[in-house]
Amino acid sequence: MFTRILSDLRRKATWYGLPTGRKSLLRILFSDGTGVQITYRAMQFCQTHHLKIVAFLLYRLNILFGHAVIGRGATFFCNDYSQCLDEDTQV
C-alpha cells in the first residue's frame, strides 16, 4: 500500500513539474486532493485484504472530509496528460 501511495505522490510531483525528492513529496502531501487519494488507496487496500468494514468507514470518511465519492470497486489509470480516468466507464 505504501509503495503505491509513494508512486502516486511521485507521479503527482512530476505533473506539477517538481523533482521527485523528499522535499517535493512533502510539498505534494499538502496539495489539493492528496488526502482523498491516500484515503482511497487505504480503502482499496482494506478491500483486497478482506477488511470490508474498515474500507466502508474509509469510504465514508472520504465523502465526509474530502467531498469525493469514488466507488469502492473503481479502478483508475492515469495518462500522460495528468488525467486520471475510471476504467469502468466508456471514456
pLDDT, tens digit, for every residue of 43-67?
Answer: 989 989 999 999 999 989 888 887 7
pLDDT at 70 over 80: no
- Going by the DSSP 8-state scheme, the letter that residue 31 receives in this structure is S
Provide the pLDDT for residue 72.
Answer: 62
Task: Give the pLDDT confidence of 1-55 residue by residue, as tens digits.
Answer: 788 888 888 888 888 899 988 898 888 888 878 888 888 889 989 989 999 999 9
C-alpha cell, 42: 487505504
**Structural contact between residues 72 and 80, judged by C-beta atoms closer than 8 angstroms:** no
SS3 43: helix
Provide the pLDDT for residue 57.
Answer: 93
For 64, half-sphere exposure in the C-beta direction (CA atoms, 13 angstrom radius) is: 6
Which sequence spans correspond to the domains of the chain? 2-86
